[in-house]
Amino acid sequence: MLAQVPNLFNRRAVLLGSGSFCLAGRVLATPTVELEDFGKLARIIDGDSFVLGSGLKVRLANIFAPEKEQDYAKAATLALAALLEGRHIGLSYTGPKRDRYGRALAQVYTLKPDGSPDQWVQLEMIRLGYGRVRSYADTAWQIETLLESEDVARQAGRGLWQSNDFKVRAPAPNPLAQYVDSFQIVEGLIISAAQVRDMTFLNFGSDYKTDFTVSIARRDRRKFEKAEIDLEDMEGRRIRVRGWVELYNGPVMWLDHPQALEFTHRDLS
């Protein structure tokens, strides 16, 4: 039974997959979601967060819009405002309901008067080119759909993909070291894979002390195995990874879930 949204703010409702979304010419069925909070927009904070009329602060799960000092930050904020202003909004939780700042960490939907979905806001922001996919182990939901949309936006040069701030990085260690302590997408060829004590290392160069490395803790290996990713058979594979770049010997990215890793045969653009 669909929620009659105007009369059910802050009540629990089940939303069935009765709508559809469009991606690269394909129609995608609306995933079955459970809505728990409703409201209308009070104000926009930035390109991936806003406040409902109830005062609840909301963070869009699994996307990362440009930050204030970056290109396209204002454009992303305006894009989110255009999607949400005057609309009934429903929130679905696919992991922890609150982040460490107390914001609702939600999948966000605009709704039709009968409570059925109109737009999945995360997908729209990615499609328009005003966000990058940023998954976490505990909220990694429908990531493949978001990644497909991101790839289309990137290839088309929409929004933030016109800026060098957000380009897919090569794994060359010296240029990549400039982006330590920031979220990046890196693509390259794995030269070797190694198991050392409780860690798996995917090396993108011959010198692990200076070259870019992806590191996966033993406790997280099972997640990759369930996704049918053989971490011991990665040599010669071209992958794209996304996450926070740190410095440990050379640049390193720590992965704790398989959705942050993509296999690709495309050249860097």
Q: What is the CATH number of the domain that holds 133?
A: 2.40.50.90
In this structure, the answer to whether residues 74 and 129 fall within a common structural domain is yes
Does residue 234 lie in a domain region? yes
Which pLDDT belongs to residue 34?
87
Dihedral sign for Cα 128, 133, 139, 143, please. Answer: positive
In this structure, the answer to whether residues 158 and 43 fall within a common structural domain is yes
CB 56 within 8 A of CB 89: no
Does residue 268 lie in a domain region? no
In this structure, the answer to whether residues 83 and 212 fall within a common structural domain is no
**69 CB-near residues (< 8 Å, 6+ apart):** none
In this structure, the answer to whether residues 37 and 124 fall within a common structural domain is yes
In this structure, the answer to whether residues 225 and 133 fall within a common structural domain is no
In this structure, the answer to whether residues 112 and 219 fall within a common structural domain is no
Tokens 């922001």 correspond to 125
The structure's pTM equals 0.86
Mean pLDDT over all residues of the chain? Answer: 88
Q: Which of 127, 162, 197 is the last residue of a domain?
A: 162
Please report, rounded to a whole number, the percentage of residues in the chain having pLDDT higher than 70: 87
Domain count, the chain: 2
Residue 3 has pLDDT above 60, yes or no: no
CB 6 within 8 A of CB 87: no
**259 CB-near residues (< 8 Å, 6+ apart):** 135, 140, 143, 144
What is the chain's alpha carbon radius of gyration, rounded to the nearest angstrom? Answer: 20
In this structure, the answer to whether residues 74 and 177 fall within a common structural domain is no
Say which CATH number the domain at 191 has.
2.40.50.140
In this structure, the answer to whether residues 41 and 139 fall within a common structural domain is yes
Strands 49-52 and 57-60: antiparallel
Catalytic annotation, residues = 59, 67, 103
In this structure, the answer to whether residues 176 and 243 fall within a common structural domain is yes
The 10s digit of each residue's pLDDT in 105-159 is 999 999 999 888 899 999 999 999 999 999 999 999 999 999 999 999 999 999 9
In this structure, the answer to whether residues 155 and 51 fall within a common structural domain is yes
Q: Which of 113, 147, 162 is the last residue of a domain?
A: 162
Please report, rounded to a whole number, the percentage of residues in the chain having pLDDT higher than 90: 79
188/186 Cα distance (integer angstroms): 7
Confidence of residue 59 (pLDDT cuts 50, 70, 90): very high
Element (H, E) at 120: strand 117-120
In this structure, the answer to whether residues 193 and 107 fall within a common structural domain is no
Domain of 258? 168-263
Q: Which of 162, 179, 206 is the last residue of a domain?
A: 162
In this structure, the answer to whether residues 196 and 158 fall within a common structural domain is no
